[in-house]
Amino acid sequence: MKGWAPGHIKRGDCMGRLLDVAFMPHPPVMVPEVGRGEEARITTTVTAVKGLAAKLAARRPEVVVIISPHGPVFREAVGLWATGELKGDLAAFRAGEVKFTYRLDLELSRAIADIAREAGLPVAWLDAAACRRYGLTPELDHGMMVPLYFLRQAGIDTPLVAMGMAFLQRQQLYAFGAALARAVAASPHRVLLVASGDLSHRLLPGAPAGYDPRGKDFDARVKELLAALDVEGILAIPEDLAARAGECGLRSFIMGLGALDGYEVRGEVLSYEGPFGVGYLVAHLEPAGEAPERSLLAKEKKPVAESLPVRLARQSLEYYLRTGKVLPVPEPLPPELAGRAGAFVSIKKHGSLRGCIGTIGPTRTNLAEEIIYNALAAGLEDPRFPPVTVEELPELQYSVDVLSEPEPATLADLDPKVYGVIVSRGRRRGLLLPDLEGIDTVEEQVAIARQKGGIGPNEPYQLERFKVTRYH
């Protein structure tokens, strides 16, 4: 059907339908021509993938959209292949006879790109000229080839929309998935979305990417949250936990979940195993009718009344970026800002951390001045992030934590939901605020604070605890 255009559409306005979202792993050893018998060690995964592919085939998709962490990956944009067709093979895995050629559905690809850009989400449109410019070779990578192998076996041989994940903020990836779903709704197609990815690559000693005991924790958390359809929980998985796990699927999965924003969802985790030291999860989600109350993006847009400390933090960063000057302390000084205390300013963008810096104790004349300067430090000097720009200001959310006086503590005195912790050894100190998403145990809290302070796991240390008053 030629000539359709996304325009400004609502769900139900067109014939397009997102049928299913499939989470599929991509170990080449699953493919018999590669595994040569070794695939028997992951029979649980192979059986689940084959069963899922048969179920998806019965749904009669007309286009497959596939997201791969090994495709065209950019830090600041989602890369969409736009070269007319893609070819690929498994020659790198001693199975060159496994080779596919797919026609790309450029109309749907263009609609996805256009709607994403309208939402302020960056897209890299990878036509022949862009591939030459970036030095890319258009191809089906193994993150696409392996799921497509099993889809083809089940009889699914449709045009593709093919893209990589991106190193954008998680909430942006989720929003991209929602934009993708809007483009599908505006199309004339029945669409299957495949989010390709493996979980931790560090499950066992001797695993290809090395071993980290937190790999199992990461996989267990993803499996549990996905089984419970806890999208907010998945978005809040600590970045350091994901990094230690050495995963490659979380961002693809988040994009897939975004495509279901505002829908009632049915689904299940079909299998999980990791005998080679890499976690392989298979899951199937199906939109089951609109449910606007389940839209995380709609919740994000609801205005929230700012507290006085948060308003001051926001005004401080905005004023400096627009004038180059430090915001004057308010006059008359409100009583709640007249005292002295340490304070942390946290800045988020699309739900992901954008900067967080603060002071353990008071360093300024009053709390107002403490917040003003710490807001600037959080926005401009956090070494983990580039400085905030003027263009980003409308997208930022702020919170301010005002600290109580720290007091000596033991492990038994701590509660990560109630108390923040300071871990010290000499001049080295690491601090972690209380009630942070994904920090559930004292051991996790202390380990992260110790790591932040550069204190080794076998070094003795001192503990202090404190409470905060958190403002939004």
Structurally, how many domains does the chain consist of? 3
Q: In terms of domains, do 445 and 309 share one? A: no
Q: In terms of domains, do 451 and 387 share one? A: no
**Residue 110 falls inside a structural domain:** yes
Nearest to 160 by CA among 179, 175, 141: 141
Helix, strand and coil percent figures for the chain, each rounded to 5: 35, 25, 35
Q: In terms of domains, do 342 and 281 share one? A: no
Question: What ranges make up the beta strands (E) of 85-176?
Answer: 85-90, 95-103, 123-126, 160-164
Last residue in a domain, options 348, 371, 396: 396
For residue 469, give the CATH number of its domain: 3.30.1490.150
Q: In terms of domains, do 40 and 111 share one? A: yes
Cβ neighbors of 439 (< 8 A, separation 6 or more) are 238, 416, 432, 445, 448
pTM above 0.75, yes or no: no
Q: In terms of domains, do 121 and 186 share one? A: yes
Q: In terms of domains, do 281 and 307 share one? A: no
Q: In terms of domains, do 191 and 65 share one? A: yes
Cis peptide before 61 (omega within 30 of 0): no
Last residue in a domain, options 282, 300, 318: 300
DSSP-derived letter for residue 292 is G
**Residue 1 falls inside a structural domain:** no
Separation between Cα atoms, residue 277 and residue 212, nearest integer Å = 10
- Per-position pLDDT tens, the chain of length 472: 334 444 433 444 446 899 999 999 999 999 999 999 999 999 999 999 999 999 999 999 999 999 999 989 998 889 999 999 999 999 999 999 999 999 999 999 999 999 999 888 889 999 999 999 999 999 999 999 999 999 999 999 999 999 999 988 898 899 999 999 999 999 999 999 999 999 999 999 989 899 999 999 999 999 999 999 999 999 989 888 999 999 999 999 999 999 999 999 999 999 999 999 999 999 999 999 999 888 988 876 655 568 899 999 999 999 999 999 999 999 888 888 999 999 999 999 877 889 999 999 999 999 999 999 999 999 999 998 999 999 889 889 999 999 999 999 999 999 999 999 999 999 999 999 998 877 889 999 999 999 999 999 899 999 999 999 999 8
Separation between Cα atoms, residue 145 and residue 137, nearest integer Å = 15
Q: In terms of domains, do 122 and 65 share one? A: yes
Question: What is the strand order of the sheet 462-466 is part of?
Answer: 407-409, 462-466, 420-425, 428-432
Crossing angle of helices 367-380/308-323, nearest 10°? 50
Separation between Cα atoms, residue 280 and residue 273, nearest integer Å = 5
**Residue 9 falls inside a structural domain:** no
The pLDDT, as a whole number, for residue 1 is 34
Q: In terms of domains, do 183 and 233 share one? A: yes
Separation between Cα atoms, residue 343 and residue 310, nearest integer Å = 11
Asked whether the CA dihedral 456, 458, 462, 463 is positive or negative, the reply is positive
* DSSP codes of every residue in 32-54: HHHHTTGGGGGHHHHHHHHHHHH
**Which residue type is seen at 77?**
A
Which two tokens mark 111?
């609609």
Last residue in a domain, options 285, 300, 315: 300
The pLDDT, as a whole number, for residue 302 is 55
**Residue 464 falls inside a structural domain:** yes
Q: In terms of domains, do 325 and 284 share one? A: no
Nearest to 454 by CA among 431, 470, 437, 438: 431
**Residue 5 falls inside a structural domain:** no
Separation between Cα atoms, residue 424 and residue 133, nearest integer Å = 50
Q: In terms of domains, do 448 and 322 share one? A: no
**Residue 263 falls inside a structural domain:** yes
Widest distance between CA atoms in the chain: 77
For residue 371, give the CATH number of its domain: 3.30.700.20
**Which residue type is seen at 382?**
D
Q: In terms of domains, do 376 and 410 share one? A: no
DSSP-derived letter for residue 334 is P
**Residue 3 falls inside a structural domain:** no
**Which residue type is seen at 260?**
L
Q: Terminal CA-to-CA distance of the chain, rounded, Å?
A: 49
**Residue 2 falls inside a structural domain:** no
**Which residue type is seen at 339?**
G
Separation between Cα atoms, residue 54 and residue 58, nearest integer Å = 6
The pLDDT, as a whole number, for residue 122 is 87
For residue 101, give the CATH number of its domain: 3.40.830.10
Instruction: Give the burial class of 108: count Cβ atoms within 10 A of its Cβ; 0-12 exposed, 13-18 middle, 19 or more buried.
Output: buried
Instruction: Give the burial class of 235: count Cβ atoms within 10 A of its Cβ; 0-12 exposed, 13-18 middle, 19 or more buried.
Output: buried
Domain of 357, in residue numbers? 303-396
The pLDDT, as a whole number, for residue 3 is 42
